[in-house]
Structure 1
């Protein structure tokens, strides 16, 4: 699997709980359990599988769309039965996505006993983490949390998508390449920080947004090529 570096260019959080800490988890080969077999479970399982996790879905009734995921993701395991105590004992991350409050509460209790990360799909405050809305475009990943207002989240993500589309994603990938060159030419971290602070400005970002990607790339390349040159 080819790993791509991502630039978390921007995030939007409408503060609703001061005790939240935003992170990006490395989910490669992490054991995850999704309890539930409906549309919500489908979305949760799909996103975890795309992130590289090993996912077990547990539910007496599982959507055909979840079953067919196994063709694309061998790391998906299906258990067509009711949730049982012990199902999440070895999980890193757990999602309770059933339509039964009793079952969801039981999942949360067991996850807490085993110190798992646990999310309740229809009641984020019941677990110890929530999932922000996201928009991903190659090297860019935008996350938006609005305190449980899906419509506002959707609108904000649409706005970000319009502002930072394919050109900005291509620019991020280009910067990743240039970053390696700068690192070789400027071994000192402080010198690199100063270089990027002076070179990569908001004005250049505005140029990319205005459709002048190639012109902006040329400015960066010129600056990189001048590293070490006589003033």
Structure 2
């Protein structure tokens, strides 16, 4: 049995992350770190065209040198990645990271580092991560492809809507138990189905309609009635969060 890892999501906004290496693996790691808002610094004598462009644009710090122990970048780093083609260099980076007490990840020997980067599916606020604890990165990648089909793009506007509904209900309903019942009821709505069908394009219109109804009746019963109303809209041809349905709602507030 291998290591037991502790899963965690890190806030890397404006935190320094150093990558030793400038090839395709380093490029993929840098891309995901930039997406997370990290301050990325790369140390490598040769880099991919994309990494070169990032350096020219000022998106990353780029030091075009071979790695050697004692470089300032590693002393500043919160995370260190070794992504070179040379096992000896990666091992040397690992030793320095351990001496500095900095979490380290190695591209060529994931289990030797202090953490593993999982395969990730992102849909806005939704993050789904899967890892084989380093046993089979190929399987992790295959599972990621399956998860991309399970969680379509509509989850991004769906989660934004859930967030907005939750925030409003927290303002309107002081009772925690009632709020939780309402949150569970909202998950039974066919809202994701609506957004999938409309490719998320009508999310703002639906948000306005749903908040208007819940504001009038902020209760579990109100959530249930709104869900029934939403189901009726789904069954109507050409339904959507547009002005036509807004006027229909006002004449039939339920």
Would you say same fold, with TM above 0.5? yes
Paired with 1:150 and 1:137, the residues of 2 have a C-alpha distance of 22
Structure-2 change in CA distance of 1:208 and 1:146 (3 Å): farther
- Farther off after superposition, 131-140 or 93-102: 131-140
Structure 1 pair 127/182, CA: closer, same or farther in 2 (3 Å)? same
Is residue 77 of structure 1 aligned with residue 61 of structure 2? yes
1:172 aligns to 2:159 (yes or no): yes
Contact 1:178 1:224 in 2 (8 A): no
Q: Give the corresponding residue for 1:34.
A: 19
Larger Rg: 2
Contact residue 95 and residue 121 of structure 1 kept, 8 A: yes
Greater relative contact order (Cα < 8 A, sep 6+): 1
Find out whether 1:116 has 2:107 as its counterpart: no
Question: Residues of 2 paired with 1:224 and 1:24: CA distance?
Answer: 34
For the 8 Å contact 1:145–1:153, the answer to whether it is kept is yes
Cα distance, 1:76–1:207 mapped onto 2, change above 3 Å: closer
Contact 2:172 2:218 in 1 (8 A): yes
Quote how far apart the aligned CAs of 1:86 are: 1.9
Structure 1 residue 65 corresponds to structure 2 residue 50: yes
> What's the offset of the Cα at 1:56?
1.2
Q: CA deviation at 1:100?
A: 1.4
Q: How many residues align?
A: 213
Gaps of 5+ in 1: 1-15
| C-alpha displacement of 1:138 | 2.4
Looking at structure 1, the residues matched to 140 and 210 of structure 2 have their Cα atoms a distance apart, in angstroms, of 34
- 1:182 corresponds, among 148, 166, 169, to 169
Aligned residue number for residue 100 of structure 1: 86
List per-residue Cα deviations over 1:144-177 (Å, max 9, x = no partner). Answer: 1123323322322222222221222221111111
- Offset from partner CA, 1:70-114 (integer Å, 9 cap, x none): 355x24111111112123122100000111111111111111122
User: Which consecutive residues of structure 2, in runs of 5 or more, have no partner in the other structure?
Assistant: 223-254
Cα RMSD (Å): 2.9
Q: Residue 227 in 1 paired to residue 218 in 2?
A: yes
Report the TM-score when normalising by structure 1: 0.79
